[in-house]
Every structure is written in C-alpha cells, then in structure tokens.
Amino acid sequence: MTFVAGPVAVRVPASSANLGPGFDALGLALALHDEVTGEVVDAGLEIRVTGEGMDGVPLDETHLVVRAMHAAFDLLGGRPPGLRLTCTNAIPHGRGLGSSAAAIVAGVVLARALVEGGDELLDDAAAFQLTVDLEGHPDNVAAAFFGGLTIAWVDGAAAEVERLDTDVEVTVFVPPTAVSTEKARGLLPETVPHRDASFNAGRAALLVAALTGSPQRLISATEDRLHQSYRAEAMPESYKLLRRLRVDGVPAIISGAGPTVLAFARGVAGEAPDGWAVHELGVDADGAQVARA
C-alpha cells in the first residue's frame, strides 16, 4: 500500500436527522462545514483543532476523526507510520447537527484519499457502510457523505441510502448548551400507540414529497408523534420555540436529538431566544468533498 505525498483536505457538511416524522431514516445535509486536513508523516500523531469543540475534544488516538481513519486504514490494508491533522470545526457539538457524523465521514473519506488508489480499494458503498458501523445508525452519516436529502436504512447488516435533490432553505436556532444523544434517546418509550406510528409513516412520506416539489405541504409534513414531545423535558426552551414557530405557521422541527430547532423558512431569525446562535443555511448538495491542500 502506498500513501500519497503531501496534505489532503476533506470538507464535510453538517446534517439534520429525523426532520420531524422521519425518525432514524431521513437526513438533510446543510451548508455548514467542518474541514479536516491530513498528511502522512514519518512517525507520531499531531492534532490541531480550531473552532467548535476545540477545548473539549481529545488530541490523541481517541479523537473521533482519528478513530474513523484507523478503521478505514485497517480496511485499506494498513495504517501509516504517522499522521498530522488540522481540524477546523464550524459544526456545533452536541446540538443535533451531526458533528459526530461529520467527524466519522471526514475520517473515513480522508483516510481513503491518503492512500493511492483508495477509491478502488474502498468504494463509496463500502465507505458508507463503515461510517454507519462506526456511528451506529445511518441517517446523519448518509447526509454528510452524499449530500442533499437522504433516506437511509439497514437491511440486515447492510446500510442502504437513497439520495434526492432539494433546494429548501432553512434557519437553525442553536442553543448555548448541549444535550447528549444518549440522554435524548433515553427519554423515548419502548412502545408507541399504533395510531402514532401510522400517523408518522404518512407524514414521513408526505415530507419527502414536500421537500422535493410541494413545499406548501411542509407545515403538515413536519408533524411528529414519535419522539419530539417525549424529549421536551430535556430541552424545554427548544420545545417552547418549536411550538411558537409552528403556531405561527412556520414548519419547524427539533434537529436530530436536539436541542437545535430547525425551521424550513427564512426571515424568522428574530424569534431566537437570548443567547442562541442563528444560521440561515441552504442545503449542501455535494456531501463530503476531497481536495489537495
């Protein structure tokens, strides 16, 4: 196995999963990006992090990008003698915008790009499968890897994805404090009423139609009965903002496991509570992209 000379850069988008009714299936890539530059060196591991999470992430082999890179290198045939990484993060951590998915996708794609002929040794299907294996579920990594609107699922152990184009614009309201995905998932019941499951199945189907050609349906299409209300106690301010936006006719959802609120609208930034960050974003259509640094 031969490693490429010089640095390689990878740019990966943020993502919003669930989108209301599409629990653990739908994902949307957003035009907010982390960038990771990597280079194979003679020995050691050097990591530099700037931006989001710079004071809280480990700077050793437990760093999520490094763990993903090592997993990919193992599939490609062997790890390099050393690595130098620079991570420039714009995706908030622990806010439901796919920061861990972006790190995993960045690591897998970067490792592949640092190996001569890596695209042939680890094609997109295999690379995507690895990201799902590392993340544990496919919704965020599908959007981060492929861009656009994604429908992702697992058949047996095999991860699958259908990618669709959408040009919807969104506003995300990011609170100053995080909520862990584990805590948010722990609030979900083991079972739900059949009528609620049926309701969400219909709304998820409608949401795909709304995002790909019928935006006037978005307020109905973003209704959910499976997860958002159950998680309200972990993010009361987010849920309050969500309800206020929806009462005003704005299609809004909790992004992923929260606590970020995503609105399928522009011109609503003034609704943000004090201390919250607001980003008006388009959809990233490209997914993870590689460039020579």
- CA-nearest of 140, 126, 136 to 34 is 140
Q: Report the b/e string of 243-258 with b at 16+ CB within 10 A.
A: eebbeeebbbbbbbbb
Handedness of CA 71, 100, 257, 199 (dihedral sign): negative
Q: How far apart are CA 70 and CA 90, in angstroms?
A: 23
Residue list, annotated binding site for ATP: 92-102
DSSP state of 272: P
Q: How far apart are CA 94 and CA 238, in angstroms?
A: 14
- CA-nearest of 5, 67, 76 to 42 is 5
248 three-state secondary structure: coil
Residue list, annotated binding site: 92-102
Q: Are 183 and 234 spatial neighbours (Cβ–Cβ below 8 Å)? A: yes
Q: Are 286 and 165 spatial neighbours (Cβ–Cβ below 8 Å)? A: no
